[in-house]
């Protein structure tokens, strides 16, 4: 049995990866500090089938002790501070977790000869686009926010360890994820929660910013494909090919819930707000054989239904 050491496995995307991993027959150790966005409820269905250890990726002594004892075949590094707005308010946790935490893991992985290190990056490391064009894996990085700078740093650290030390790192750059279990601070869960309660739904500026939306189960599935077939030293974009303006995403949610578009409330734009992200994902499609399975319309129906069925959990996260 292949043993995986999964950081951030109690988070939104990490937990989906863990749930899929159990079904695929992997042995999994989850390492998560259970910050505000982490929750063991996400792992309830695999309780007893994984090994959970609470810990911080920046704590080198603990990470080394755990890795020495667990002897995993691969590390899949999801752990990160990920909310752009929070990074604008205080960048410090992002620099600590996303940069220092990644360096700690890379260094110990090098020391103990880990067979594969999957370093999860983001499309936000590229900066932004106007109306035309797409990001390829060779597009120069041009991050805009403290969050994306911290992820670009972690991304480059992984690639530096691969080139300098020969550590078998694969870099994954997914587009915006959505789906069940997302913490209610991002656009889609916030819009669902507000609309569900007939409250105003805040939308930055005029909602013209464009994102490429990837259903969470498709993202996790892509990472398994790369874990099994990806080439160390390579970078892979993982996108759906479905771009939507933020205002159109909110309108879809309102329509599914049967709410009026009059609930939309335009608010002051976020500082340094990237206009558009768009990935060219032909590399993973052609070389690995992966392609997203879930269309946006289906994914949003499933997502809204999940939040409606789990509103107690969602509202319990609001302070």
Catalytic residue among 124, 128, 212, 285: 124
In order of their start, the domains of the chain are 3-178+214-241+278-294 (3.40.50.720)
pLDDT in tens, 200-235: 999 999 999 999 999 999 999 999 999 999 999 999
124 catalytic? Reply is yes
Q: Which residues contact 136 (CB under 8 A, 6 or more apart)?
A: 237, 280, 283
Unique residue bearing structure tokens 């043993």: 3
Mean pLDDT for 105-123 is: 97
For residue 194, the number of C-alpha atoms closer than 13 Å in the C-beta half-sphere is: 23
Closest C-alpha to 47, from 74, 13, 10: 10
Share of the chain above pLDDT 70, in %: 100
Residue 241 has pLDDT above 90, yes or no: yes
Query: What local confidence, expressed as pLDDT, does residue 1 receive?
Result: 78
**pLDDT score for 147:** 95
Mean pLDDT of the chain: 96
How far is C-alpha 109 from the chain's CA centre? 21
Q: How confident is the model at residue 319, as a pLDDT? A: 65
For residue 266, what pLDDT band results from cuts at 50, 70 and 90? very high
Q: Which of 147, 178, 277, 307 is catalytic?
A: 147
Describe the strand order of the beta sheet including 176-178 as a list of residue ranges: 176-178, 210-215, 243-245
- How far is it, in rounded angstroms, from Cα 110 to Cα 182? 32
CA distances 311 to 151, 161, 197, Å, are 31, 43, 10
Confidence at 315, pLDDT banded by 50, 70, 90: confident
- Condensed to tens digits (0 to 9), the pLDDT of residues 157-204 reads 999 999 999 999 999 999 999 999 999 999 999 999 999 999 999 999
Residue among 16, 39, 56, 123 flagged as catalytic? 123
Residue 31 confidence class, pLDDT cut points 50, 70, 90: very high
Q: Is 127 left (phi over 0), alpha (psi -120 to 50) or beta?
A: left
Length of the chain: 319
Please give the model's pTM, rounded to 2 decimal places: 0.96
pLDDT on residue 140? 97
């Amino acid at each position: 049995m292949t043993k995986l050491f999964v950081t951030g496995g109690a988070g939104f995307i990490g937990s989906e990866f863990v749930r899929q991993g159990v079904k695929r027959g992997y042995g999994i150790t989850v390492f998560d500090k259970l910050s505000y966005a982490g929750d063991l409820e996400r792992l309830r269905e695999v309780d007893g089938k994984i090994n959970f250890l609470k810990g911080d990726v920046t704590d080198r002594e603990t990470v080394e002790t755990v890795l020495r004892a667990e002897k995993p075949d691969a590390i899949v590094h999801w752990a990160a501070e990920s909310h752009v707005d929070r990074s604008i308010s205080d960048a410090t946790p992002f620099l600590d977790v996303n940069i220092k935490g990644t360096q700690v893991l890379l260094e110990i992985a090098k020391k103990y000869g880990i067979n594969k290190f999957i370093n999860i990056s983001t499309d936000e490391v590229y900066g932004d686009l106007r109306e035309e064009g797409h990001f390829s894996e060779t597009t120069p990085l041009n991050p805009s926010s403290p969050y994306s700078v911290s992820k670009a740093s972690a991304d480059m650290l992984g690639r530096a360890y691969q080139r300098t030390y020969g550590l078998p790192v694969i870099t994954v750059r997914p587009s915006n994820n959505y789906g069940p279990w997302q913490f209610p601070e991002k656009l889609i869960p916030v819009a669902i929660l507000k609309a569900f309660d007939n409250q105003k739904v805040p939308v930055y500026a005029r909602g013209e910013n464009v994102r490429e939306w990837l259903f969470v189960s498709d993202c996790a599935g892509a990472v398994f494909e790369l874990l099994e077939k990806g080439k160390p030293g390579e970078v892979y974009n993982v996108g759906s090919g479905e771009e939507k303006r933020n205002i159109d995403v909110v309108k879809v949610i309102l329509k599914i819930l049967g709410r009026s578009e009059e609930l939309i409330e335009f608010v002051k734009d976020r500082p340094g707000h990237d206009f558009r992200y768009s990935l060219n994902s032909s590399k993973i499609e052609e070389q690995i054989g992966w392609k997203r399975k879930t269309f946006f319309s289906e994914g949003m129906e499933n997502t809204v239904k999940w939040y409606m069925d789990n509103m107690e959990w969602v509202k319990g996260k609001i302070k």
